[in-house]
Amino acid sequence: ITRGRHPQIRQQMSTARRYWLVGTVILIFLTALGISIQILVASAFEAQRSQKNIAWAAAQLQIEFLQVHPAFSGYAAEARSVPAASIKTRLSIFKNRIRVLKQETDQTDLADDPIYDQLVADLESAIAPDSPVTRALASDDHALHRDALNQLARLDSPIRTWVQDIMLRSNPDRQKDSLVNAQLKAAAVMAVAILAGIALVVLLLRYIKRLEKAHEREREAREGP
């Protein structure tokens, strides 16, 4: 009797291992699905946070420009009302605002915007060591002062235009729409993954059942007359 039970016990153990395999596959699949969805949603939140940082940096750049430009006008006037040291301080802060804006923007898709590329090129040209603005701080040449004022004046419209565009992109309604789109994508990924997982489990179960039937036929053939 004991010997006769050995094949049956082995068969039960083999079946248990197969179902354990199915459970392991399901667990791995659900873990991978959860991680994928978490990454997708986290990316959406990170993009939203990055957009807010860019909007803040752009606003700070515009505010600083609105202080640099009139201050430089006072420095370049016939009756100088703003000392060179004050302009150097304001220009140093302005340079820092440009650096922060680039730091926040360069890692996003906004860095590929031609308008942004042109704006950064104009900003860096204005603060370059050989620019009229920089050279005017060490000179009393009124012609050079006019060139510097003209260079700063040309920055006004591009800065305003780009900052307005960034503010529109960071509008709460738009950010909400972007987040909803990300959640819809996550739901679509989840639905496709669940369907694929169900199909995989069904195929595994069918395969296990076929193996069980094959083993059952073999057992019956061995025990037959």
pLDDT of residue 45: 66
**By mean pLDDT, which of 72-86, 139-153, 202-216 is the weakest?**
202-216
pLDDT (tens digit per residue) in 106-128: 888 888 889 899 999 999 999 99
In the predicted structure, residue 84 carries a pLDDT above the cut 60: yes
pLDDT (tens digit per residue) in 121-171: 999 999 999 999 999 988 889 899 999 999 999 999 999 999 998 888 776
Specify the pTM: 0.61
Contact 111, 54 (CB under 8 A): no
DSSP letters, the chain, are -HHHHHHHHHHHHHHHHHHHHHHHHHHHHHHHHHHHHHHHHHHHHHHHHHHHHHHHHHHHHHHHHHHHHHHHHHHHSSS--S-HHHHHHHHHHHHHHHHHHHHHHTTSGGGG-HHHHHHHHHHHHHTSTTSHHHHHTT---HHHHHHHHHHHHHHHHHHHHHHHHHHHHT-HHHHHHHHHHHHHHHHHHHHHHHHHHHHHHHHHHHHHHHHHHHHHHHHHHHH--
In the predicted structure, residue 8 carries a pLDDT above the cut 60: no
The residue ranking higher by pLDDT, 32 or 12, is: 32
pLDDT (tens digit per residue) in 42-63: 666 666 677 788 889 999 999 9
Q: What is the share, in percent, of the chain residues with pLDDT greater than 70? A: 76
